[in-house]
Amino acid sequence: MSAPFLTYPVSRRRWLGASAGLLGLGLAGTGITAGAATPVSGKIRLAGWSKPISEITNILAEPDKGFFKAQGVDLTYLPGAGGGDAIRNILSGQGDVAFTDPGSFFMALDKGEKLVAIYDIYPQNVFNVVSLRSSGIRTPADLKGKTIGVYSLASGTRQNLLVMLHQAGLKESDVRIVVTGLLNFAPLMQGQVDATAATDTGLAVGLRKGMGDVQVMPVRDYLNMSSDMFVVRRQVLEQQPALLQAFLRGYRDSAAWMIAQPEEAATLATKRAIDGTQRDINLDVIALRNASAQPTLRVQGKVAPLGSFDLNALQKGADAYHALGMVQQPIKVADVVDSRWLPGA
């Protein structure tokens, strides 16, 4: 590997009640087939939304496991601070593939950028808004006039917070949004914010560290849309389709490994992730991320392969962003999603 695997911040996504059933479900949905495609060789710079954190252990494990190398891909991970950063890195030519959220994708499309989504990383919505139970905040309407922390202004935490506010008839101007960074439960505990927008894994870490009695409002209760996807410039897809397909095979194999071997992944995270010092927390985070990777879409009664898009759910998300005024033009997601490159598709 020539890649510098950097990244520090965060954790994301959703509590998994019974991890015992996850292994069978994950492998059933991988779409992995033996044998495979035309050999390729090339470099892919993956522009991330975060630093190298435990929830992306399947990517960070590349020096140890070689999933991408096996497909002929020399992978480099570029850290970021939110999905907007990931998009900017591919638009500037610093990255080839963006690991980004749908909101950042929609907003870039609205500005006329020629982008296409090629893989749904986390089909489940993993965002939430958390407050101390003592605050009296119970519903989105109770957020009016409150100070709310987000990871960054370019992150899915802010965008999903706005979605939740919209459901309560509130606008961004009805609250005070402040940037608290990825480890934003400390400001909540210290009373610097009334609530914080986070992810399921961020919440899991906070609870492990003794955050106390909290009220959690999952955004999925209002809009269950994908949390992250791989996005590329159309020009890059046209120029390097075989290399991008090889990248997706490598990623699919890495995700299937983490689903099948969470214990091994939790151990590797202690070596590869900047927030991975506690193996028990790594295991919690990995279980959540494995759960959020499971497709919501079913094909002929079976769970769709990893990476499959639920276009109906994604269209609802695009419509919500338009209704919010976060994008000015309606977006037809079928025109900006290309599933032809999915492994096994």
Rounded mean pLDDT of 228-253?
97
For residue 170, being part of any structural domain is answered with yes
The answer on 150 and 47 residing in a single domain is no
Structurally, the chain folds into a number of domains equal to: 2
Q: How far apart are CA 151 and CA 172, in angstroms?
A: 16
Q: CATH number of the domain that 180 lies in?
A: 3.40.190.10
User: Would you state the pLDDT for residue 327?
Assistant: 94
Is 150 found in the same domain as 67?
Answer: no
pLDDT score, position 154: 79
Do 65 and 89 fall within a single domain?
Answer: yes
Give the residue with greater pLDDT, 341 vs 11: 341
Residue 9 has pLDDT above 80, yes or no: no
- 209 and 233, same domain (yes or no): no
Structural domain span for residue 209:
134-221
Among the candidates 194, 221, 248, a domain finishes at 221
Which pLDDT value is given to residue 38? 61
Shared domain for 160 and 59, answered yes or no, is no
Q: What is the mean pLDDT of the chain?
A: 87
Q: What percent of the chain has pLDDT above 70?
A: 88
Q: Last residue of a domain, which of 201, 221, 241?
A: 221
Q: Give the mean pLDDT of 78-93.
A: 95
Q: Are residues 246 and 115 in the same domain?
A: yes
Quickly state the pLDDT bin for 26 (edges 50, 70, 90).
very low
Residues 167 and 39 in one domain: no
Residue 62's pLDDT is: 98
Q: Which pTM value belongs to this model?
A: 0.83
